Amino acid sequence: MSATPLSMAAPQSFPMRYGVLLYPGFQALDVFGPLDVFTSLSQFHPLHLSIISKTMDPIPTKLGASQNGSQFAQSVLPTHTFENAPPLDILLVPGGLGNRPPSDMEPYILYIQAVYPDLKYLLTVCTGSYLAARTGILDGKRATTNKKAFREIATAYPKVNWVAQARWVADENIWTSSGVAAGMDLALSFIAKVYGDDLATSISDSLEYERHEDADWDPFATRHGLV
């Protein structure tokens, strides 16, 4: 018998329920790079997105004014709080300066710990893996993170097998990417792996994004003195 065509595959076999965790001071491109890729995917698969935060208040990219007087924040509306967020197949955790001390990230860490056992995949971008590391679920797993923050994070969480030179790392159901723009390559490679390579190519062509398909491609590890 011939193989079942993709269009005949059971739709429920594909992850559909996406969530993104947002906190004040998130890095916008960590979120909207992957989300634009998944928005494109939602034309081909029926996907649902929840934008999850501690409260329903708009979530700004900046914590207060910049020291040099810059006012350059953007604010995104959540759709759910930790209390009423629906079950998810995939949780995307972005990075951003807002997840560093003295920010109280405890509610976010508890949420990740609570939902991880029921997720199909956890995806982190940039220092999103710093948040994931604080939950303990990266212990014993391979992971990467923003290259400028790499040494500090790797030193603080030595039970994680941090990979210095990687555009992204996939270990079981946890995918972690390097800094900011690397999230787009993570998202496209995730789609190639889970939904099919043709879809990933079609989406990157449509977004006019030159995708890096090699997980080891990482000139920034060198530029930031890590290798």
For binding to a copy of itself (CB under 8 A), which residues are involved?
Answer: 18, 27-29, 31-33, 35-36, 38-39, 42-49, 51, 58, 61, 66, 68-77, 146-148, 178-182, 184, 205-210, 212, 219-220, 223-224
| Among the listed residues 119, 50, 49, the one whose alpha carbon sits nearest the alpha carbon of residue 80 | 50
Least distance from C-beta 54 to a copy of itself, angstroms? 17
Query: Which tokens hold the place of 221?
Result: 């590890």
* Nearest residue (CB) to a copy of itself, 135 versus 146: 146
Least distance from C-beta 186 to a copy of itself, angstroms? 11
Residue 199: strand, helix, or coil: helix
* Nearest residue (CB) to a copy of itself, 71 versus 155: 71
* Nearest residue (CB) to a copy of itself, 30 versus 174: 30
Angle made by CA atoms 110, 150, 78, in degrees to the nearest 5: 40
Question: Cβ distance 16 to 10 under 8 Å?
Answer: no
- According to DSSP, residue 168 is labeled E
Least distance from C-beta 106 to a copy of itself, angstroms? 26
* Nearest residue (CB) to a copy of itself, 135 versus 144: 144
Least distance from C-beta 80 to a copy of itself, angstroms? 12
192, amino acid identity = A
* Nearest residue (CB) to a copy of itself, 126 versus 137: 126
Residue keyed to tokens 């590890």: 221
Least distance from C-beta 219 to a copy of itself, angstroms? 7
How far apart CA 95 and CA 101 sit, in angstroms, is 13
110: how many CB neighbours lie within 10 A of its CB? 12
How far apart CA 86 and CA 49 sit, in angstroms, is 10
Q: Tell me how far the alpha carbon of residue 150 is from its chain's centroid.
A: 16
Q: Which residues pair with 90 in a beta bridge?
A: 18, 121
Least distance from C-beta 181 to a copy of itself, angstroms? 4
* Nearest residue (CB) to a copy of itself, 109 versus 181: 181
